[in-house]
């Protein structure tokens, strides 16, 4: 992210030039600029959603995100009273701008047609039907996965609880909520509209990441790695299969009848980096 002072717009009126210069010290991107309490986060209130959308602008040029920042925040970082008092419709319009800038509908380069999915991984059910399958790692135990019917995108399963139906939330529009999105800044799938899967069971053991687990679920384990006994963080992961149907990722989330339970050892957050698993 650039650290130079942004250049003011040419031929700007004096008042606008002064406002631009007032923000001259803001040269580094803040991924979570909207003040948010623990309760705001837990209840998925407006600050949570503002920061969720805003974070994906982190790879944008300062000239792209600073004008948006100035519409919401004072130079000292406090929220402009005019924005705080604005209508739900105006807030929704602003979040739509962030959605359009930081997200994209699931990129065509990531899509696979059903034939390609079947070629990569398949399973024959009791009716001798060949189903395309993918795998997902989960912190839930196998019986709870079965009870929940597998995994559903949060936009489907937790829409009300996560305030996706709030008047200020862009996902209150069904045509937006029903799309699948990719987060440009995080280089990852949208946490709300996509169920991320792997085409092989071993790859699925990388998720959930150890640092995302609750503290009580983390254990220390002694394991042999490259001829040495090492103490590493470990947690448990249940890997289960999901039925694939149609374009994109998972459209029918039915868990495999025999999930595999793994103990994860030292899982890395870096894509492609080696990780080790021990079946239980």
pLDDT digits over 152-180, tens only? 788 888 899 999 999 999 999 998 988 88
9 band by pLDDT with thresholds 50, 70 and 90: low
What is the per-residue pLDDT for 128? 67
Judge if the upstream peptide bond of residue 267 is cis by omega within 30 degrees of 0: no
Tell which wins on pLDDT, 5 or 97. 97
What is the per-residue pLDDT for 177? 87
Structure tokens, 12: 């700007």
Per-state percent for the chain, helix, strand, coil, to nearest 5: 35, 20, 45
What is the per-residue pLDDT for 127? 67
- How far is CA 273 from each of CA 91, 266, 270, rounded to the nearest angstrom? 40, 11, 6
User: Does residue 72 have a pLDDT over 90?
Assistant: yes
Neighbours of 107 (CB within 10 A): 11
DSSP-derived pairing of the beta strands 219-225 and 188-189: unpaired
pTM of the model: 0.72
């Amino acid at each position: 992210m650039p650290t130079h002072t942004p250049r003011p717009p040419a031929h700007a009126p004096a008042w606008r030039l002064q406002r631009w210069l007032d923000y001259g010290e803001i040269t580094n991107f803040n991924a979570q600029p909207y003040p948010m309490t623990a309760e705001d986060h837990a209840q998925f209130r407006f600050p949570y959603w503002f920061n969720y959308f805003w974070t994906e602008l982190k790879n944008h040029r300062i000239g792209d995100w600073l004008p948006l920042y100035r519409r919401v925040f004072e130079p000292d970082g406090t929220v402009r009273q005019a924005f705080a008092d604005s209508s739900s419709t105006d807030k929704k319009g602003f979040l739509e701008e962030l959605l359009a800038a930081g997200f994209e509908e699931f990129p065509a380069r990531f899509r696979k047609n059903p034939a390609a999915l079947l070629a990569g991984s398949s399973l024959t059910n009791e009716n001798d039907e060949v189903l395309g399958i993918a795998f997902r790692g989960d912190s839930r135990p196998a019986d709870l996965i079965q009870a929940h019917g597998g995994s559903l995108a949060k936009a489907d399963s937790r829409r009300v609880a996560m305030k996706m139906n709030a008047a200020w939330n862009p996902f209150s529009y069904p045509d937006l909520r029903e799309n699948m999105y990719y987060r440009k800044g995080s280089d990852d799938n949208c946490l709300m509209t996509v169920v991320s899967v792997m085409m092989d069971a071993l790859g699925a053991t990388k998720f959930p990441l150890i640092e995302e687990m609750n503290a009580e679920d983390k254990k220390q384990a002694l394991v042999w790695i490259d001829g040495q006994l090492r103490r590493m963080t470990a947690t448990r992961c249940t890997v289960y299969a999901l039925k694939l149907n149609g374009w994109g990722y998972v459209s029918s989330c039915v868990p495999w009848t025999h999930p595999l339970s793994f103990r994860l050892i030292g899982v890395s957050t870096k894509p492609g980096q080696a990780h080790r698993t021990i079946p239980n």
